[in-house]
C-alpha cells in the first residue's frame, strides 16, 4: 500500500479580474487603491491657548522678528559694524543707510542688528542663571523649613534691600577686566532675590499637597521632590519669572555699558548709546545715533512684557476666564438714565 499525497477538496482561487472586467462591472480601479490619510500633529492645549491669546501672539511675533533680525544680520546688511571710516560720517537716515552713520563712519543699522546678538545673549544667559538660582533656593526653602529656610530668607532680604543697579556699578568699578561675560554673571548673581521670594511663597501652598506627602513617604530624596514634583507644577510661574528677569537684564546690560562699564570694542545696544553720548549726539543733532538703539531696547522689552502677560493669562484660569470689563458710566449718564427711567415709570424726579 502506497502512501500518496492527500488531495484537497478546497476549490482553487479564481483568477484576479483585470481593469476592463472591473470597469464592465461598474467598479473603478481607483476606488480599490488604498488611501493614506496624513496623521495630524496633536498640539498641546496649553500651546493652542497660548497662540490664541492676542497679547502672547503679539509679543511672540515682535520678539521673533527681533531675534530673526539678529540671526540674519549678514543677510540684512553687508556693512561691518566695527569698521571705522567705512562710510561718510554723520549721514542722515536714507535708503542707502536706513539708520544713518555715526561720527566714525559706521553704519548704525549694521550696529543695531549685530549688537542685538550680544545684548540678547547676555540678557538671556543672565536671566537663565538668575532663574536657576531663584528656583533652587525658593523651592528648597519652601520644602525644608528651619535652618535652610531661614538662611535663604536672610540672603534674600539682603539682596532685596540693596538696589541692583548701584550694586552692579560698584562691583564693575573694582573689576579690571570688563566685557559681556562679566556683565552676564554680575546680573545673574544679583537678580534672583525677587523671584526667589515669589517662588517660595507659591511653593508653600504645594508643600502640604498629597503628591508631595506621598513622594516624601516613599523615601524620595529632596532633589527629586524639588525638581521632580515642585518644578513641573510651577513651570508656568518659572517661565514668567524668566521673562521678567529677561526684561530687567536687558535694561541693566544696556545701563552698565552706557555708563562705560562694558567693553567699548564690542558692538551692543548699550555701547551704541555709550559712543553716542561720548560724541555729543544730542547736542549736535545726530538723533539717529541714540534713537534707534533706544527703540531696539524698548521694542524688545515691550515684546517680553506682552509675552509675560500672555503666559500669565494662559496659565492662570482666573485671568483666562475673566469677563470683559463693562464700560463705566459717568455721573451725567447715570443722572440721565435715572431721569428717563423714572419718567417711564410715571414718577418724576423731585429735588
d(CA 220, CA 230): 13
The predicted model gives 3-11 an average pLDDT of 52
Whole-number percent of the chain with pLDDT over 70: 78
pLDDT band at residue 47 using 50, 70 and 90 as cut-offs? confident
Of the candidates 94, 141, 126, 99, the one whose C-alpha atom is nearest the C-alpha of residue 272 is: 99
Query: Who wins on pLDDT, 152 or 23?
Result: 152
| pTM score, whole prediction | 0.77
Of the candidates 38, 37, 60, the one whose C-alpha atom is nearest the C-alpha of residue 47 is: 60
Query: Who wins on pLDDT, 137 or 262?
Result: 137
* Digit-coded pLDDT (tens) for 191-206: 999 999 999 999 988 8
3-state secondary structure of 142: helix
The predicted model gives 156-166 an average pLDDT of 89
* Digit-coded pLDDT (tens) for 309-333: 888 888 776 665 555 555 455 555 5
With a cut of 80, say whether residue 256 has pLDDT above it.
yes
Query: Who wins on pLDDT, 44 or 210?
Result: 210
Q: Which domains does the chain have, with CATH numbers?
A: 45-88+99-317 (1.10.3720.10)
Q: DSSP letters along 231-250, please? A: HHHTHHHHHHHHHHHHHHHH
pLDDT band at residue 185 using 50, 70 and 90 as cut-offs? very high
Backbone angles phi, psi at 189, to 5 degrees: -90, 0
The predicted model gives 247-251 an average pLDDT of 94
Query: Who wins on pLDDT, 315 or 223?
Result: 223
Which residue in this structure is represented by grid cell 523615601? 219
Query: Who wins on pLDDT, 284 or 60?
Result: 60
d(CA 273, CA 294): 8
Which range has the top average pLDDT, 57-71, 81-95, 198-212, 221-235?
57-71
C-alpha cell of residue 114: 549685530
Amino acid at each position: 500500500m502506497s502512501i500518496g499525497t492527500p488531495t484537497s477538496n478546497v476549490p482553487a482561487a479564481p483568477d484576479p479580474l483585470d481593469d476592463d472586467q472591473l470597469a464592465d462591472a461598474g467598479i473603478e480601479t481607483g476606488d480599490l487603491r488604498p488611501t493614506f490619510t496624513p496623521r495630524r500633529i496633536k498640539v498641546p492645549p496649553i500651546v493652542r491657548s497660548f497662540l490664541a491669546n492676542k497679547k502672547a501672539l503679539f509679543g511672540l511675533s515682535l520678539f521673533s522678528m527681533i531675534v530673526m533680525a539678529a540671526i540674519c544680520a549678514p543677510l540684512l546688511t553687508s556693512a561691518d559694524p566695527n569698521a571705522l571710516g567705512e562710510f561718510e560720517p554723520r549721514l542722515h537716515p536714507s535708503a542707502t543707510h536706513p539708520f544713518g552713520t555715526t561720527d566714525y563712519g559706521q553704519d548704525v543699522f549694521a550696529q543695531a542688528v549685530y549688537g542685538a546678538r550680544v545684548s540678547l545673549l547676555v540678557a538671556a544667559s543672565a536671566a537663565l542663571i538668575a532663574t536657576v538660582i531663584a528656583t533652587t533656593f525658593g523651592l528648597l526653602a519652601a520644602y525644608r523649613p528651619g535652618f535652610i529656610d531661614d538662611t535663604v530668607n536672610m540672603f534674600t532680604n539682603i539682596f532685596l534691600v540693596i538696589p541692583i543697579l548701584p550694586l552692579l556699578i560698584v562691583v564693575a568699578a573694582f573689576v579690571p577686566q570688563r566685557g559681556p561675560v562679566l556683565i552676564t554673571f554680575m546680573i545673574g548673581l544679583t537678580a534672583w532675590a525677587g523671584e526667589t521670594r515669589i517662588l517660595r511663597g507659591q511653593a508653600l501652598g504645594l508643600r502640604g499637597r498629597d503628591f508631595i506627602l506621598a513622594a516624601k513617604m516613599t523615601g524620595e530624596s529632596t532633589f527629586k521632590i524639588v525638581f521632580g514634583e515642585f518644578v513641573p507644577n510651577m513651570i508656568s510661574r518659572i517661565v514668567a519669572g524668566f521673562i521678567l528677569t529677561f526684561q530687567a537684564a536687558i535694561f541693566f546690560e544696556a545701563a552698565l555699558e552706557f555708563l562705560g562699564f562694558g567693553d567699548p570694542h564690542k558692538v551692543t545696544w548699550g555701547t551704541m548709546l555709550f559712543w553716542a553720548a561720548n560724541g555729543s549726539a544730542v547736542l549736535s543733532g545726530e538723533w539717529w545715533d541714540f534713537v534707534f538703539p533706544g527703540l531696539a531696547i524698548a521694542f524688545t522689552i515691550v515684546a517680553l512684557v506682552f509675552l509675560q502677560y500672555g503666559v500669565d493669562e494662559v496659565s492662570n484660569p482666573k485671568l483666562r476666564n475673566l469677563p470683559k470689563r463693562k464700560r463705566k458710566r459717568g455721573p451725567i449718564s447715570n443722572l440721565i438714565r435715572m431721569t428717563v427711567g423714572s419718567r417711564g415709570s410715571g414718577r418724576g424726579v423731585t429735588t
